Structure 1
Amino acid sequence: MLPQAMELWIPITIAAAFLQNLRSALQKRLRSSLGTRGASFVRFGFGFPIAILYVSFLHGVIGYAFPALSGRFALWAVIGGLAQIYATILLVHLFSLRNFAVGTAYSKTEPVQAALFGFVLLGEKLTTGAVLAILVGVFGVMLISMARSPLSPKSLLTSLTGRTALIGIASGGIFGISAVAYRSAALALDGPNPIMQAAVTLVCVTGFQTVYMLVWMLATDRSEIGRVVRSWRSSSLVGLAGVLGSACWFTAMALQPVAYVRALGQVELIFTFAASWFLFKERLNLRELLGCLLIVSGILGLLLA
């Protein structure tokens, strides 16, 4: 049973990557009619009822028991929920600054950042292969940042410290924090199996995120709530894709360490290229394409290392 359970995370992760790309593409379209917060909120607000139905199905039909909650679970759920909210806001904003594929590629520096954080903060040792993989990924980011500027040391420094690059890299880093927090939350539950633990984590997190963002919009811009309600058809699709993708991510990370799941999840860039080309009619120049491919190569190399 254990080998089968361990292999299950692979198709689940690929499904999560596809659904995440679909949700991001829908959010990019919504960005033209909603503000950044509104386009980010629909992921949680419209996904929360679906998450409740998912847990109800697992409990009422499949017969899985509810896990026991704890203070440790609540702490990790809140940390992960807040990190995901702000990472999503940064990513949605990034789509208005660069094209869909490049914006997504910047956020996909997450596994490389996680490895560096582990080395700097936790003293985790890096193999020679891991260091080389990280350098490949960093070079990919450098190529993307300079894709529309002359090749020179000065333009390189300006590009890497520019607003677009910093927003994208920050988004990837905060998404990495949320992933670690979600895995920790799911493992903190005393549940019957990883699937139910991931589902309950999903309900609690999306419920918290929905309330948090509603209060935020009520306090700062109530008109945004009206725009969200009026766009309910498109918004509900974002919520559906988002909650199904999150269910897959949470389940995969309950079965396997975050580093492996997120590294395999870089297959999303393949779906991203297709969406950027066919849906948004965006064209990548040669340096942007090479940069995206180098980021994927660096992450896969990190996984192998």
Structure 2
Amino acid sequence: MAWIAFTIMAAFMQAWRNAFQKQLSHYVDVYGVTLARFIFAWPFAISYLVLLYHHYAAQVDVVHFTPRFWIYIVIAGLSQILATALMVMLFKQKNYAIGVGLAKSEAVLAAIIGVLFLQEYLDGFGWLGVLIGGVAVFLLSKGAGQLKLSWKTLIIGVGSGLCFAITSLLVREASLELGNLPFLIRAAWVLCLVISFQASIMLMTLGIFQAETLTRMWQHKGLTLRVSICSFLASLGWFSAMSMQSVAIVKTLGQIEILFSLLISAFFFREKLARSDHLGLILVVVAAILVIWA
């Protein structure tokens, strides 16, 4: 059941990362906030991989990277960059809450894409948990109370969820390509290579076209570092969990991030919780129980 612990850790750290990203978005543009996820994360990812190899020294076979593995890494890395940029754009929308709720359609989209194209399997309890989780996120995003939804927010939100779903599915596929290694090392290789690719391509692009963004990030390096550390720990949890379990199951359980986000809003940002949040939280718990049972 290690995937459960990794998923809970990932959800908790992702809630904090989103909170710090929202703060950083007041000072840095979309591309800078997106880069903040990766810029300080890759040294941690490399160090984590080295520590694992030191621990598993006598048990690890030689790693073989297939061409398919590299294709997965590149597409997953680009898809996550786009997903993050779209998520940051949601921070600036008037109906931000429902937009983020739509972005959390990732679990449902991952289930559909995984079953249709990647030979993943979900039983009845799994599908029920995914669907209940989707309803819970909609309620928690205040979707039921907001009848007016702009097409722009709809497209950005669902687009972000779709890109996150593609990222998660391809991360799992890349991990499965390294089937001769322990699951922790498989996940660590994928984590290290994806983050390194993302940091390199974004640093190069911004260095050439938007150097002023890098300057603003340096001016808020403390906040940028917090985003990177939380992002690294969240990705470590997600990648490890998805090396062991179906993406749709992991992401549905991961919707407890909503609970953590509400607690952060209440105690960190001093925002009051609405009574309507209670039903959504109950449904998140029900969805989590169903996917664990599945």
Give the TM-score category using the shorter length: 0.7 to 0.9
What is the TM-score with the length of structure 1 in the denominator? 0.81
User: Which moves more between the two structures, 207-216 or 286-295?
Assistant: 286-295
> 1:19 aligned to 13, 21, 30, which one?
13
User: Which amino acid in structure 2 is aligned with residue 252 of structure 1?
Assistant: A
Of 30, 53, 66, the residue aligned with 1:59 is 53
Match of 1:30 among 24, 31, 35: 24
Q: Which residue of 1 aligns with 2:210?
A: 221
Q: Any residues of structure 2 matched to 1:273-288 within 5 Å, and which?
A: 273-283=262-272, 285=274
Within the alignment, does 1:39 sit opposite 2:28 as a pair? no
Provide the rounded CA distance (Å) in 2 between the counterparts of 1:124 and 1:262: 14
Report the Cα distance in structure 2 between the residues aligned to 1:126 and 1:224, rounded to whole angstroms. 43
Equivalent of residue 68 in structure 2, options 68, 72, 97: 72
Match of 2:192 among 203, 223, 228: 203
| Residue type of the alignment partner of 2:73 | A
CA contact (8 A) 2:132 2:287 kept: yes
Alpha-carbon separation, structure 2, partners of 1:166 and 1:126: 27
Of stretches 174-183 and 270-279 in structure 1, the one that deviates more from structure 2 is 270-279
Unmatched runs of 5 consecutive residues or more in structure 1? 1-6, 150-154
Is the alpha carbon distance of 1:52 and 1:128 closer, same or farther for their aligned partners in structure 2, counting shifts above 3 Å? closer
1:247 maps to a residue whose letter is L
Identical aligned residues as a percent = 34
Which segment is superposed worse, 52-61 or 139-148? 139-148
Q: Which amino acid aligns with 2:81?
A: I
Counterpart of 1:54, as a letter, is Y
Counterpart of 1:218, as a letter, is G
- Counterparts of 1:185 and 1:237 in 2: how far apart (Å)? 28
Q: Tell me the number of residue pairs that the alignment of Structure 1 and Structure 2 aligns.
A: 291
Letter in structure 1 aligned against 2:37: R
The whole-number CA distance in structure 2 between the counterparts of 1:168 and 1:260 is 21
Query: 1:106: Cα distance to partner?
Result: 2.8
Name the Cα RMSD after superposition: 3.1
Kept in 1, the 8 Å contact 2:95–2:153? The answer is no
CA distance 1:39–1:117, change in 2 (3 Å): same
Cross-structure match for 1:247: 236
Look up the match of 1:108.
104
| 1:263-282 equivalence runs, <5 A | 263-282=252-271
Give the structure 1 partner of residue 84 of structure 2: 88
What's the CA shift for 1:241? 1.4
The Cα of 1:17 is off from its aligned counterpart by 1.0
TM-score by length of 2: 0.84
**CA–CA distance in 1 between the matches of 2:7 and 2:266?**
23
